[in-house]
Amino acid sequence: MTAARYLRELIPQAEVVLLERNPTFWSGPMSNKWLIDIVDTDFLNHDMLSPAIKYGYTLVHTEVIGIERDTKTVRTAKGNIHYDYLILSGGIRNAYDAWFGNDLRAAEYTRQHFPNAYEPNAEMLALKQKLKDFKGALSS
């Protein structure tokens, strides 16, 4: 989003298109305050369309499923998009295979039961719920 904003500002004639799968922006920074209810959800969660309109770039909500560098094409769930220049910032992703190899069940179990909230959206909500449900440690 930052790159899209400043590209439009620095090269006004450029057609800038931002591809994003999440419907809203969830901030990782400051999320600890949200996890323990010091700030509310509006503090972290923002719509993405307003900045796109304000700064004049196009926002397309879609999943990127592939990139063909030889033909300069991004394949998305909504079809192919051609580009002259491509900036990639896909963020972080859990690599459960480093722990569990091909054991997809173990990876899925860990994802569901131990969300680390490094990925925005659902994982952050799941971790907050776990904190709410936490009744304290067992004493021996």
Ligand X SMILES: Cc1cc2nc3c(=O)[nH]c(=O)nc-3n(C[C@H](O)[C@H](O)[C@H](O)COP(=O)(O)OP(=O)(O)OC[C@H]3O[C@@H](n4cnc5c(N)ncnc54)[C@H](O)[C@@H]3O)c2cc1C
Residues near ligand X (CB under 6 A) are 19-22, 28-29, 31, 63-64, 89-92, 117-118
Closer Cβ to ligand X, 37 or 63, answer by number: 63
**What torsion, rounded to 10 degrees, do the Cα atoms 45, 49, 54, 58 define?**
140
What are the residues facing 60 on neighbouring strands? 19
Residue with the CB atom nearest ligand X in the bound state: 91
Helix and strand totals (H; E) in the chain: 7, 7
Residue closer to ligand X by CB (options 13, 42) is 42
Between 61 and 107, whose beta carbon lies closer to ligand X? 61
The strand pair at 45-47 and 73-76 is best described as unpaired
* Minimum gap (Å) between residue 104 Cβ and ligand X: 19
Are the C-beta atoms of 19 and 81 separated by less than 8 Å? Answer: yes
Quick one: 21 or 54, whose CB is closer to ligand X? 21
Smallest separation, CB 110 to ligand X (Å): 17
Residue among 4, 104, 99 nearest 54 (CA): 4
Tell me the closest approach of the beta carbon of residue 61 to ligand X, in angstroms.
8
Helix, strand and coil percent figures for the chain, each rounded to 5 = 35, 20, 45
Nearest approach, Cβ of residue 35 and ligand X (Å): 9
